[in-house]
Structure 1
Amino acid sequence: MAKSHYLETDRLANVIAALQTMAVADRPSATLNRWVAELEASEELTSDQLDQSPIKFAERKKWQAVFEQHPEFFKTYTLRGEPRVLLRWRFSESIKREAKEGANGKASAEKPEGDAASSPLNADQIQVLINTAIEMHAKEVASERAPDHFRPLLMAIIGAALGTVAGGLIIVLLGLLQSGPAHRLFD
């Protein structure tokens, strides 16, 4: 069986970091390089600084794997030859809002997939995403543990052996008590 992506080193922490960052960003979608720059930044950067920030190949590869291997939270796609990533919940909220505005007769401008503006998720929504990631990680950890197929059999054998020894001792003691005080074992 293939190893779960949640069991990779630091994966849960990376998923949670990406969820938090993408949940409060100004847009639900951005280029892969922009997300990598934001997630790896050691300080708060402006939008222009993020776009100009150099990206290390290893960092890009790490975050691209996180986004691609967790489609339950992230969608990766290419727009005009540029790899992009979006947080699914944010994107679905923007689609829902656009549909609602369209039903109310408001005109909506055509926007490429993932470029629709949406408001950041609230704290409760972010907590739901984080809890979901933690639960999925916990399930994978639990399923990785070796099953104890032989434990019930081993306990039955140990119980039978202890019962046999205890039963034998009781029989010997009862025999000694019935024979009286004059009987000695080692005459």
Structure 2
Amino acid sequence: MADVIAAIQFMSTNERSSLPCEDWAEGISGNKAKSTHWQKVFDEHPEFFRRSPNYEGYYALIWRRASPRLFFRKEGRLLTQAEYNGLPDLDKTLVSRPPVPTQQIKTLIDLAVELHAKAREQHTDWRWWVPIVTSFLGSFIGVLSGLAFHK
């Protein structure tokens, strides 16, 4: 849970919207060697993170993927479509999706906490059927025993 929240926080505000796991690992935990750990976190939580369809090993926060690529990192501002179209090709490589606003980051974290709580609740609630099955099996064994010894 803490890893998901850390990833949401870092990926929401990073100037790049999509990076390889090694770079996310270095940014989130300070250790590129933990890239396989972060890849696992991203893969286990597709409700928040997606693998890039265009670049091998790249991941992004889904919330940012919903925004158009109009954030000019060089100037730290959003461009209009006309401004983007007028950029030289080299400058277009400096365009990313905009960072997620603070209120939306809070919404994402609240959603992660809520989903985690529901998952834990479902995990503990799987035991509801144990007493029912046990009593049914006990009755069934009793009936079979009665039939077997009644003869």
- Whether TM-score is above 0.5 comes out as yes
Matches within 5 A, 1:11-90: 12-41=1-30, 55-56=32-33, 59-77=34-52, 79=54, 82-90=56-64
Separation (CA, whole Å) in 1 of partners of 2:6 and 2:15: 16
Letter in 2 for 1:92: A
Instruction: Give percent identity, aligned residues only.
Output: 29
Bigger CA radius of gyration: 1
SS in 2 for 1:75: strand
Q: Which residue of 1 aligns with 2:142?
A: none
Separation (CA, whole Å) in 2 of partners of 1:96 and 1:70: 26
1:20 shift after superposition = 0.3
Q: Considering only aligned residues, what root-mean-square deviation do their CA atoms show, in Å?
A: 2.9
1:126 equivalent in alignment to 2:100: no
Q: Which residue of 2 aligns with 1:172?
A: none
Q: Which residue of 1 aligns with 2:144?
A: none
- Indicate conservation of the 8 Å contact 2:70/2:84, yes or no: no
Distance 1:89 1:63, change over 3 A: same
Match of 2:123 among 125, 141, 144: 144
Instruction: Normalising by structure 2, report the TM-score.
Output: 0.65
Distance 1:107 1:148, change over 3 A: closer
Structure with greater helix percent = 2
Separation (CA, whole Å) in 2 of partners of 1:21 and 1:120: 10
Separation (CA, whole Å) in 1 of partners of 2:127 and 2:69: 44
Instruction: Normalising by structure 1, report the TM-score.
Output: 0.54
In structure 2, list runs of 5 or more residues that go unmatched: 72-78, 133-151
- Indicate conservation of the 8 Å contact 1:90/1:118, yes or no: yes
